[in-house]
Amino acid sequence: MRLTVVGCSGSMPGPGSAASSYLVQSDGTAPSPGDAAANRTWNVLLDLGSGAFGPLQTLLQPHDVDAVLLSHLHPDHCADLTALAVWLRYGPGSVLGTGGAVPPERRVRVIGPAGTAERLAELSMEMPGDVAATFDVETVADGDELAVGPLRVAAHEVRHPVTAFAYRLTGPDGEVLTYTGDTDSCDGVERAAAGADLLLSEAAFTDGVDEVRGIHLTGSRAGALARDAGVRRLLLTHLQPWADPERIRDDAAAVYDGPVALARAGQVDQVLAHS
């Protein structure tokens, strides 16, 4: 499994990065035997937040995205699906001039919380039916499992002011990537992260500065999650533009003995199964 950071800025785009979006790619064969193109590289996005559609175009043709997993429906995690919708309808390979439904083979799966289609309609000033003519929207609940090509995905509900999920992705060799989405410490994110080869964890808040609970992790809370879940590596993301990244990394490293790094836009990371 290969992870590319499309955008990692917390809560909004920053001067050096778009808001949350991560491209996960895996070569493999889909379990569904009917798909002629099943044995190929699969492209899955974790979130598509504000500004992320720009750098996404440097990585692939947006219509080659197979699925978008939405952690939750705050705009810094889903706003640029509006741009993907326009691309699918009017961009390269579209049925020019119709402005109507996107053919089924060209639609992108969008997987998110209940209310996803309505939220996307609201962001685009459209009707939910227009969203359904562009995306194949599926909603998930806590504990749901699904497949995207060769990847197995499990959704775990986490602790945020709106319904939010962490996603646990297992690749064809058994490698595990966990993405926390936005969350404070909770059982759901610990379940999602258990034994992961890479934990991509938000750490939006700063210990000793942001005292409000129930919204975000801090460096030390992300570190404690990595330690308690027994993950192999920790990659911190969703730091807000005004935060001090080194301080947040140090706070994580103070409680977690494994490797800790800060996500950077454009960074590529191979997620390998541990032997």
Task: Tell me how far, at minimum, the Cβ of 103 lies from Zn ion, in Å.
Answer: 33
Stretch that binds Zn ion, among 83-91, 98-106, 139-147, 175-183 (CB under 5 A): 175-183
**Residues between 63 and 122 with contacts to Zn ion, criterion CB under 5 A:** 74
Establish if 159 lies at the interface with Zn ion (CB under 5 A): no
**Burial of 209: CB neighbours in 10 Å, binned 0-12, 13-18, 19+:** exposed
Beta-strand runs (E) in 73-144: 108-112, 135-139
Q: In 10 A of CB 11, how many CB atoms?
A: 23
Q: Is 182 in the site for Zn ion (CB under 5 A)?
A: yes
> Look-up: residue for tokens 């969350």?
183
Contact call for residue 202 and Zn ion (CB under 5 A): no
Q: What is the DSSP letter of 9?
A: B
Binding flag, residue 184, Zn ion (CB under 5 A):
no
Which CB sits closer to Zn ion, 8 or 88? 8
Q: How far is the CB of 220 from Zn ion (least distance, A)?
A: 20
Cα(97)–Cα(227) distance, integer angstroms? 54
Comparing CB distances to Zn ion, the nearer of 1 and 155 is 155
Place of tokens 């991509």: 200
Determine the interface stretch with Zn ion among 137-145, 146-154, 181-189, 244-252 (rule: CB under 5 A): 181-189
Structural element, H or E, at residue 260: strand 260-262
Q: Is residue 47 a contact point for Zn ion (CB under 5 A)?
A: no
- By the criterion CB under 5 A, which residues form the site for Zn ion? 74, 182
